[in-house]
């Protein structure tokens, strides 16, 4: 073992122990590149500065190395520590050099993650069935009754010009304004942008041009998606006035599809929880309860009938958890199916964007507009998605994770529903892996994504300052050796292969939204899932279930979820506000 190798293990903890000091200072927030392309990436000529907490000049001694070796679990002799001292000192100076260059949150590391490691099979199959019928929709006397209408109905009303795009935008804006004092789900209303866009879309219809099923449909964006001319706050006080001179890729694609952005919706600060600098976002079913997070505002606004759909993000439950709390029907896609260009980065190997809706069918229509390869996001894959037809659920083999249902007696009704539908039920068991240890991947990547906050003291601006909150997790992650991060990624590969073996026997599997290990596992492996309501608790709040599918097999997954919803109707119940 070389001195250089050992020093690379120890120096991480040494830098964490010796580089943080007490003198925070404000620092200008860097903006995203104009188009997110490689030509605008920060280079060696970028602005250099010394982080306020940096202390590279403090000399290191054997006691420092001895303490650091304890942190990382190595028992080194004094002679071994003496050999390390020079190399560790040199490495720490190098880290200080790297810290002095400004790095946009948009700049990804020079490595990429793919759910298709060697040995993982591509099991995508074609969804075969009957076309969805076009609804015979008529303009209601009270347009307010459209608050919970599905996308097929709204699309028909717009296409036939019974309801204008401007009317739908005004309806959504008014409902958001009326309910936000209770729900705290809006960070910024995009009224001027929405009404101008809606007016132009009405003119297109008058000229005989219809863009498709999202033409004129209002929607809301989780406020980690960049929007040109509208602030993008990431739910964090440190970025409250941040203006990014670019639209995120999903915003661009929804603009092209004719969807009308009416609001930037709340998220827990830097995508954790439901608490942001404006308060706590609330559950429409019980406003005394938070909406969960971090896609807190999208889940709340969709469930309350304020927008027909929203775009959320998930790294470790941020679509599934608030959708389960608020009773939405939402899709967390396969890693790489939707471009993340222009979205706040939290974990480059785990972040995903997806539609949050009121039905699986609506998810399919939105997903068709946003999925597909983006040349400026190297993690993405094509081709573009096509919304599937209605399928026969009897052709599916569905796994039942019995361990996940323990303690969720009411949710077992879903298994009975599936049996009555004639689905082939197959017992499955989640692979046994050290998930908490593997999630060092997330904490380390998130800490680097926002390292400037830790180094210059702006982490004090975050609302939550407790053990289980970003400021402390960012600092804690600085004690993670690079060697252990890479070991976690290698074990993660084993987990991916184990999940591939599970999907050799089933098309998808089902589990309660908050039950079992599948949420952490499938966020690490990149598998898609659909979360949907499956009834109400005694207190009147929703229960929810999750169907998890094969990689890139969203078409059959969403088609099955649609068949289940048409058979059960749980998603048709809405909160009374």
In angstroms, rounded to a whole number, what is the distance separating the alpha carbons of residues 166 and 148? 18
Report how far residue 9's alpha carbon sits from residue 18's, in angstroms, rounded to the nearest whole number: 15
Query: Residue 206 phi/psi, 5° resolution?
Result: -65, -30
- Give catalytic residues, as residue numbers: 222, 294, 318
**Strand 397-401, strand 424-428: pairing:** parallel
The CA distance from 283 to 299, in Å, is: 8
Distance of CA 378 to the CA centre of its chain: 18
The residues, any chain, with a CB within 8 Å of residue 380's CB and separated by 6 or more, are 336, 337, 338, 339, 372, 373, 374
The first and second tokens of residue 12, run together, are 């991480």
Q: Is 256 in a helix, a strand, or coil?
A: helix
Distances (CA, A) of 399 to 243, 355, 406, 423, 519: 46, 24, 16, 10, 15
Are 285 and 326 a contacting pair, CB within 8 Å? yes
> 165-183 and 191-206 are packed helices; what angle lies between their axes, rounded to 10 degrees?
160
**Per-position b or e across 73-95, b if 16+ CB within 10 A of its CB:** eeebeeebbebbbebbbebbeeb
**Upstream peptide bond of 422 is cis (omega within 30 degrees of 0):** no
* CA dist., res. 477 & res. 446, Å (int): 9
Max Cα–Cα distance, the chain, nearest Å: 85
- The C-alpha atoms of residue 337 and residue 349 are separated, in whole angstroms, by 13
Cα separation of 300 and 288, whole Å?
13
């Amino acid at each position: 073992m070389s001195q250089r190798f050992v020093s690379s293990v120890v120096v991480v903890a040494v830098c964490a122990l010796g580089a943080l000091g007490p003198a925070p200072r404000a620092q200008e927030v860097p903006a995203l590149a104009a188009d997110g392309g490689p030509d605008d990436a920060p280079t060696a000529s970028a602005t250099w500065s010394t982080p306020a907490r940096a202390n590279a000049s403090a000399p290191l001694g054997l006691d420092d190395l001895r303490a650091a070796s304890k942190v990382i679990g190595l028992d080194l002799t004094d002679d071994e520590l003496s050999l390390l001292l020079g190399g560790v000192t040199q490495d720490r100076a190098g880290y200080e050099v790297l810290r002095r260059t400004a790095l946009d949150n948009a700049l990804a590391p020079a490595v990429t993650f793919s759910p298709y490691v060697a040995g993982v099979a591509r099991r995508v199959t074609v969804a075969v069935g009957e076309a969805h019928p076009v609804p015979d929709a008529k303009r209601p006397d009270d347009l307010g009754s459209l608050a919970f209408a599905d996308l097929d109905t709204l699309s028909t009303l717009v296409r036939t010009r019974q309801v204008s795009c401007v009317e739908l935008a005004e309806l959504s804006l008014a409902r958001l304004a009326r309910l936000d004092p209770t729900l705290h789900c809006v960070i910024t209303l995009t009224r001027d942008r929405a009404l101008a866009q809606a007016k132009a879309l009405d003119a297109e219809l008058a000229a005989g041009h219809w863009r498709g099923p999202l033409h004129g449909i209002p929607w809301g964006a989780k406020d980690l998606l960049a929007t040109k001319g509208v602030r993008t706050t990431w739910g964090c006080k440190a970025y409250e006035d941040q203006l990014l001179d670019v639209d995120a890729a999903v915003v661009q694609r929804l603009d092209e599809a004719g969807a009308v952005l009416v609001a930037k919706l709340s998220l827990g600060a830097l995508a954790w929880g439901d608490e942001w600098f404006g308060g706590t976002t609330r559950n429409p079913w019980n406003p005394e309860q938070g909406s969960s997070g971090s896609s807190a505002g999208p889940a709340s606004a969709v469930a309350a009938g304020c927008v027909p759909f929203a775009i959320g993000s998930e790294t470790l439950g941020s679509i599934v958890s608030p959708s389960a709390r608020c009773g939405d029907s939402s899709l967390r896609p396969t890693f790489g199916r939707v471009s993340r260009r222009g979205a706040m980065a939290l974990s480059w190997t785990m972040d995903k964007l997806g539609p949050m809706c009121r039905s699986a069918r609506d998810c399919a229509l939105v997903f068709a507009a946003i999925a597909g390869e983006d040349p400026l996001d190297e993690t993405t894959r094509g081709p573009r998605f096509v919304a599937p037809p209605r399928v026969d659920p009897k052709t599916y083999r569905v796994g039942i994770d019995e361990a996940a249902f323990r303690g969720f007696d009411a949710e077992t009704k879903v298994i009975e529903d599936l049996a009555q539908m004639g689905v082939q039920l197959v017992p499955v068991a989640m692979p046994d892996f050290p998930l908490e240890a593997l999630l060092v991947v997330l904490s380390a990547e998130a800490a680097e994504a926002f390292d400037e906050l830790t180094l210059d003291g702006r982490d004090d601006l975050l609302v939550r300052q407790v053990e289980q909150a970003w400021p402390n997790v960012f600092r804690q992650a600085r004690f993670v050796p690079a060697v252990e991060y890479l070991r976690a990624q290698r074990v993660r590969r084993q987990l991916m292969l184990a999940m591939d073996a599970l999907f050799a026997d089933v098309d998808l599997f089902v589990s309660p939204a908050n039950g079992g290990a599948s949420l952490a596992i499938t966020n690490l492996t990149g598998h898609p899932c659909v979360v949907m309501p499956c009834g109400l608790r005694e207190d009147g709040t929703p229960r929810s279930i999750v169907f998890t599918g094969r990689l890139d097999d969203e078409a059959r997954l969403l088609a099955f979820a649609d068949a289940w919803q048409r058979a059960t109707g749980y998603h048709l119940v809405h909160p009374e506000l």
